[in-house]
Amino acid sequence: MDFEPTAEQRLLRDSVAALGKRFGHSYYVDKAKAGEHTDELWTEAGKLGYLGVSVPTEYGGGGSGITELAIVCEELAAAGCPLLLLVVSPAIAATIVAKHGTGAQRAAYLPGFADGTLKVCFAITEPDAGSNFHRLATVAHPDGDGYVLSGRKVFISGVDECSYVLVVARMADERTGRLSPALFLVPTDAPGLTVTKIGMEIVSPENQFMLFFDGVRVPADALIGGSAEAGLPALFSGLNPERITVAAMSIGTARYALERASSYVSGRSVWGRPVGAHQGVAHPLAHAAIQVELARLMIAKAAFLYDAGRDLEAGAAANMAKYASAEAAVLAVDTAIQVHGGNGMTTEYGVATLMGGVRAGRIAPVSREMILNYVAQHVLGQEKSY
């Protein structure tokens, strides 16, 4: 693994950072509080090719990997604009379609992913099963020349911004009758699909929804890969990019918080000295900065392994990166708020508005406890504890 970024990666990082700074955190917060979406930023990022960096070149993308997409996620978040749909649409949905879609599916959807004109959300979590796909209650049944989906999903991000939702359901194998995961691209305006917004105490322009599938009919070509056998490999191919890009978004937010805090404490004087000159202030910030850099290293490792096709190693690294970045982000934002004193709780200083988002990162898309279970079982060789 080479720690020196390529010239293209440096240019990408600098260019995305410049775009993010043109919009900034006040744009993000204003959109969130007005109940609007960050359409202008998304559209500009799409035109510049940043949303499609990991889409194959033959479909209009940049032909790079999750390493580059993680850079985009991190740098926009580091500018105060952590876009959750970057994780959902380019990282999860586009990766799944690119790796496991049929030729017709790739041709139909990947160009839209590449330029940002197509947004696709992802629905796996259920009220009773969580993300345990072995217990999913949403099922699909063959029906004529298509399928019928029934069930419900919860905490599905960005449905109101997306044209399709990539649904993880269970479908009986034709040979064995055994239920196994199958993925379907379902229009968000499909008859029988009811969408209900969930109230969240998070400052974000991206909303969360409950979905109800009441006999939703989709054509045969809605099934990813064209067969049920493609379901499980397709699902797993999207989960590692999800964890890596969520981690990158968290760590970008942490960087933004630390930059705000460092600027504040170096410019505010108390008792004749800058606040940051006191160890009681400087040491917590330094500690948070160290945790952030350690998490960035694990993100880079996870992305490198994924792009190299080393999936088993990437699975462990992606989970560790997600865990480390969530913990570092919560620490960084909390420390940034604390060193601001009362100003840390105001909208003006731009750090308290980050707390809900980074706190959610310890829960979703996979909780810190489930990551610890994974590491204990698959890295340390312990018996399964759940």
Token pair for 180: 């196994």
**Whether the predicted pLDDT of 177 surpasses 70:** no
Tell me what pLDDT residue 176 has: 64
Mean pLDDT of the chain, nearest integer = 96
Q: What percent of the chain has pLDDT over 90?
A: 91
CB atoms within 10 A of CB 380: 7
How far apart are the C-alpha atoms of 236 and 322, rounded to whole Å?
A: 16
Contacts of 209 (CB under 8 A, 6+ apart): 155, 156, 157, 159, 160, 195, 196, 197, 198
pTM for this predicted structure: 0.96
Residue 180's pLDDT band, with cuts at 50, 70 and 90, is confident
Average pLDDT over residues 369-374: 96
198-243 pLDDT per residue, tens = 999 999 999 999 999 999 999 999 999 998 888 889 999 999 999 9
Q: Angle, nearest 10°, between helix axes 231-267 and 279-307? A: 160
Q: What is the pLDDT of residue 386?
A: 83
Tens digit of each residue's pLDDT (9 = 90 or more) over 32-66? 999 999 999 999 999 999 999 999 999 999 999 99
Catalytic sites, residue numbers: 242
CA distances from 76 to 53, 79, 82, 181 (A): 14, 5, 6, 33
pLDDT in tens, 91-138: 999 999 999 999 999 999 999 999 999 999 999 999 988 667 678 999
CATH numbers and ranges of domains, the chain? 7-119 (1.10.540.10), 122-229 (2.40.110.10), 232-379 (1.20.140.10)
pLDDT digits (tens, 9 = 90+) for 255-298: 999 999 999 999 999 888 999 999 999 999 999 999 999 999 99
Position 1 pLDDT exceeds 80: no
C-alpha angle 199-324-72 in degrees, rounded to nearest 5: 70
Q: Cα torsion for 244, 74, 11, 41, to the nearest 10°?
A: 120
- Give the three-class secondary structure for 98: helix
Residue 261 has a pLDDT of 98
Q: What is the Rg, in whole angstroms, of the alpha carbon atoms belonging to the chain? A: 21
Cα gap 136→138, rounded to integer Å: 6
Alpha carbon of 348 to those of 55, 210, 256, 367: distances in Å? 38, 33, 14, 31
Count other Cβ atoms within 10 Å, centred on residue 153. Answer: 26
